[in-house]
Amino acid sequence: MNIDTIKDGYVIDHITAGNAIKIYQMLSLDKLDCQVALITNAKSKKTIIKDIIKIGSLIDINLDKIAFINPEATVNIVKNEKIIEKKKLEIPKHLINVCKCNNPRCITSTERNLDQIFNLVDHKNKIYRCYYCESTLEKEQFIF
């Protein structure tokens, strides 16, 4: 299989196998009018297999969304077919408008103009607390 290089854009690399589709959906990459390549189960020296996403345009992307799904991923910024910057991600300490609180009594359920804000309270287990109602949620419990 041959995937062309990109002139300007991003290469999201070292994605845990199976997570690329989640990142693709969370970043709404299906709505772009540029080329987007979603590569799954690519060979990896470190993890045996990995996923990769290539975006053929320098759009505004939310790195916190990528880091929330896969903090081990790296984001390479490409200009003129050369990597000009490599960003290593970390699990975000704060999430703003990345996901929604699933507590039906939370004020964010009724007030439409409030930002959805969560603060990391347990780094190891990836547990966040809602800024407003203080509900604690694990990554798997979030609504997107």
pTM of the model: 0.85
What's the structural domain count of the chain?
2
Any alpha helices (H) in 4-131, and if so which ranges? 20-26, 63-69
**Average pLDDT, consecutive stretches of 10 residues, N- to C-terminus, the chain (144 residues):** 82 95 94 94 89 96 93 95 95 92 91 93 92 87 66
- pLDDT tens column, 61-83: 999 999 999 999 999 999 999 99
- Which pLDDT score is estimated for 110? 87
The answer to whether residues 30 and 79 belong to one domain is yes
The answer to whether residues 83 and 111 belong to one domain is no
| Residue 49 lies inside a defined structural domain of this protein | yes
Return d(Cα 115, Cα 137) in angstroms, integer: 17
Q: Are 58 and 10 in contact (CB under 8 A)?
A: yes
| Residue 102 lies inside a defined structural domain of this protein | yes
